[in-house]
Amino acid sequence: MKGLCILGATGSIGVSTLDVAARHPHLYKVVALTANGNIDGLFEQCLAHHPQYAVVVNEGLAEKFSRKISSSPVSDIKVLSGASALETVATLDEVDSVMAAIVGAAGLLPSLAAAKAGKTVLLANKEALVMSGDIFMDAINHSGAHLLPIDSEHNAIFQCMPAHYKTGTDGKQVRRILLTASGGPFREMPIDQMAHVTPEQAVAHPNWDMGKKISVDSATMMNKGLEMIEACLLFNMKPEQIQVVIHPQSVIHSMVDYVDGTVLAQMGNPDMRIPIAHAMAWPERFDSGAKPLNIFDVRRMDFEEPNLQRFPCLRLAYNAINAGGTMPTVLNAANEIAVEAFLDRRIKFTDIPVIIERTMAAIAVTAADSLEIILEHDQKARTVAKEIITELIH
């Protein structure tokens, strides 16, 4: 029986992970659940799954949550608070697998701690790898940890790689990766209308049920840009070997092109329980609870190249990985600040790439050879992005 820690338990990935784990109680025991501020959701999860530990990152809400737990049927759960507690539970001896599902830069330190501790890291947080790059992969290699991708695209690529493939290594005889994207809700919207897009429109993804930040990233295709950078690291590929393909039906989750002309594709319904179950069962397979794909319902599958005029964030991501060093960290930080400002209705949808590009231009790239440098450039980029937003507003 494996001990499971879920970082970001109340988000969509965390909820799906608990659904899969509950289907296999003889294989997984929930050891720790964490949340930022959704203490009601976390409380219900504690009642249902009875972990040994629960973490509330928001210290102002932790005491209230602790009182709820102490007067409940699961009063023996140990409640921890603060960001440092995430690293504590991610490295517990009782934990074998860590689902890293905290969105954004906040997920970096606990995910990296799990990697250094030799855990099986189920990586749903792409920003952690984008920010820390080789440092994260080196931690995996040096500790002997397993790194299994959870993003539907990266999990699809992993499944299509050669037998016994290990992340971070060369895919034997692989020529390129075809990274699929739905194109989001604005794939066909006239470009001159995109400045008027509302947050409600941006978070209404046509195929996937995701959180607000990731949904906006999908609408700008920054999500695909971050995934491209992550794919370079996960599969030891060059940016020019990663081709983004818009596939509106979201049935093929990605493809691997081999040197002999063979293209392997992983298909399935758009349900995150499929990649989650694959990683949790790896190298075996078990039931995910997802509805089987009925190929006759699909009827057709379309593919097109992304329009970089419509999706400038994708171009910026390629610029960042080609610049190397700390530039992917700057890209990610500026994007997080810009998306937050858009969701708060402070800027226009089309301001997001403008803020990112100006931030990238304002910060010189340096070697990303220490965690301290990465975190320093992350904070510097956030400060610059906020200053640019203030200029745009006024």
Q: Are residues 314 and 181 in the same domain?
A: yes
Between CA 241 and CA 231 the distance in angstroms is 10
pLDDT tens readout for residues 92-111: 999 999 999 998 778 899 99
- Which one is predicted more confidently, 56 or 127? 56
Is the Cβ–Cβ distance between 126 and 309 less than 8 Å?
no
**Domain holding 95: CATH number?**
3.40.50.720
Q: Are residues 129 and 197 in the same domain?
A: no
Is residue 157 situated within a structural domain?
no
What is the radius of gyration, based on Cα positions, of the chain? 20
Q: Are residues 247 and 353 in the same domain?
A: yes
pLDDT tens readout for residues 105-160: 788 999 999 999 999 999 998 888 888 888 999 999 999 999 999 999 999 999 99
pLDDT tens readout for residues 58-86: 999 999 999 999 999 999 999 999 999 99
Is residue 285 situated within a structural domain?
no
Strand partners, 254: 266
Q: Is the pLDDT of residue 248 over 60?
A: yes
Domain boundary among 149, 177, 208: 149
Is residue 289 situated within a structural domain?
no
Q: Is the pLDDT of residue 18 over 90?
A: yes
Q: Which residue has the tokens 């910060």?
A: 363
Q: Are residues 141 and 229 in the same domain?
A: no
Domain boundary among 117, 149, 181: 149
Among candidate residues 234, 226, 121, the one with its CA nearest the CA of residue 167 = 234
Share of the chain above pLDDT 70, in %: 98
The domain containing residue 107 runs over which residues?
Answer: 2-149
Q: Report the predicted TM-score, pTM, of the whole model to 2 decimal places.
A: 0.92
Q: Are residues 171 and 145 in the same domain?
A: no
Is residue 328 situated within a structural domain?
yes
Domain count for the chain: 2
Q: What single-letter amino acid sits at 202? A: A
As a whole number, mean pLDDT of residues 334-348 equals: 96
**Domain holding 247: CATH number?**
1.10.1740.10
Is the Cβ–Cβ distance between 204 and 130 less than 8 Å?
no
Q: Are residues 220 and 107 in the same domain?
A: no
97-100/78-81 β-pairing: unpaired
Q: Are residues 120 and 200 in the same domain?
A: no
* Residue 63 backbone phi and psi in degrees, to 5: -65, -40
Is residue 161 situated within a structural domain?
no
Between CA 132 and CA 187 the distance in angstroms is 31
Q: Are residues 382 and 320 in the same domain?
A: yes
Is residue 296 situated within a structural domain?
no
Q: Are residues 309 and 356 in the same domain?
A: yes
Q: Are residues 145 and 172 in the same domain?
A: no
Helical axes 222-234 vs 327-343, angle rounded to 10°: 150
Between CA 87 and CA 106 the distance in angstroms is 11
5, 27, 277, 280 from 23: Cα distances, Å? 16, 9, 10, 12
Q: What is the mean pLDDT of the chain?
A: 94
Domain boundary among 86, 121, 149: 149
Is residue 290 situated within a structural domain?
no
Q: Are residues 69 and 207 in the same domain?
A: no
Is residue 141 situated within a structural domain?
yes
Q: Are residues 123 and 176 in the same domain?
A: no
DSSP reduced 3-state for 311: coil
Q: Is the pLDDT of residue 208 over 60?
A: no
